[in-house]
Amino acid sequence: MIKVLIVEDDHNIAQLLQLYLEKEGFETRTAADGGKGVELFRSFQPDLVLLDLMLPVLDGWGVLRKIRETDKTPVIMLTAKGETSDKVSGLEQGADDYIVKPFEMKEVLARIRAVLRRTGTGEEENSKKLSFDKLTINMESYELLVDGKRVDTPPKEMELLFHLASAPNRVFTRNQLLDEVWGFDYFGDSRTVDVHIKRLREKLEGVSQQWSLKTVWGVGYKFELLS
């Protein structure tokens, strides 16, 4: 069972997160201040931390620094601040993602699963390698095998392909892909996704009749399995 530590001083938000995540099968603990959060992190040894920025005793930045002194456990920052500088600062200090309040619980769950996928944490470790007809995507070694041959592929292209192929036949919008693959609200053009898809297609076009990288016009992209 994946363990999530929630460090949040707003009791209602902490309780809501705890109830929702436990309903989804996560084991949780909560801390209402940064000092207690650091203590619980050491004793509970979570697989992921949801960390509020504005906390009593020790703020979120302080908690993040304490965690990063010894550990690479994924941390998602929760904050009411939405400024670009705060997001960039959080990511530069070692946060894995950043969610601005108010948020939807479904968004939190999607972000958690995306971070666990990217970092290979907990139960997600078993899904670091995907295999299809004439295609192997190995995120442990960042290797792409196409028709038995290793194809040099930049990390972000690998992550994008792995993300699509992890949910075959599901359509992702460009914004979803930017958010879930790039890991935070991307401050650029959504055509970034189009460029990466185009490069992947050049490597994968016509390799197999059993799968394809499809454009869903007006929506986004999907990794289509043809049974």
- Tens-place pLDDT, residues 150-193: 999 998 899 999 999 988 888 999 888 887 887 655 555 678 89
* Predicted local confidence at residue 166, as pLDDT: 84
Q: How confident is the model at residue 124 (pLDDT cuts 50, 70, 90)?
A: very low
Is the C-alpha dihedral spanning 85, 86, 91, 97 positive or negative?
Answer: negative
Distances (CA, A) of 140 to 51, 151, 161: 27, 15, 14
pTM: predicted TM-score of the whole model, two decimal places: 0.57
Q: What tokens were used for 142?
A: 């960042």
Which carries the bigger pLDDT value, residue 113 or residue 19? 19
Q: Which residues of 195-220 are buried (b: 16+ CB within 10 A; e: fewer)?
A: ebbeebeebbeeeeeebbbbeeeeeb
Parallel/antiparallel/unpaired status of strands 27-31 and 48-52: unpaired
* Predicted local confidence at residue 33, as pLDDT: 98
Q: What is the pLDDT of residues 7-44, one digit of tens each?
A: 999 999 999 999 999 988 889 999 999 999 999 999 99
The one-letter code for the residue type at 154 is: P
Q: Residues of the chain with pLDDT > 70: what percent?
A: 89
Q: Domains in the chain, ordered, with CATH?
A: 3-124 (3.40.50.2300), 128-225 (1.10.10.10)
Q: How far is CA 202 from the centre of its chain?
A: 26
Which carries the bigger pLDDT value, residue 167 or residue 208? 208
Distances (CA, A) of 60 to 33, 56, 107: 9, 9, 21
